Amino acid sequence: MGIVNIEDELHDQLRKATKVSCRSINAQAAFWIRIGMLCETNPTLSFNEIIQRELQSAGVSVPPLAVSEP
């Protein structure tokens, strides 16, 4: 555990994101860091594919959405 220095603008964006994600500032920062690291180490996967894999590895079963015809 330690202290990470970030720019004021990034901290402001982080604080704003917590309102949408219902995470604490620390949890939101940890999420961004983890997903960013996964994106960098898996450049052929999309963000959605990474999230789907993370959910599956956590044991979350999310059925695909049914697409209805207009």
CA–CA gap between residue 50 and residue 42 (Å, rounded): 8
Residues 42, 17: Cα–Cα separation, whole Å? 24
| pLDDT value of residue 48 | 92
Could you tell me the CA-to-CA distances from 42 to 30, 33, 36, 45 in Å, in that order?
A: 18, 14, 10, 6
Q: State the pLDDT at residue 69.
A: 74
Q: What is the pLDDT of residue 61?
A: 87
Question: Do 39 and 50 contact (CB within 8 A), yes or no?
Answer: yes
Looking at residue 55, its amino acid is L
- How far is residue 13's CA from residue 35's CA, in Å, rounded to a whole number? 16
For the chain, what is the mean pLDDT? 90
Tens of pLDDT along 11-25?
999 999 999 999 999
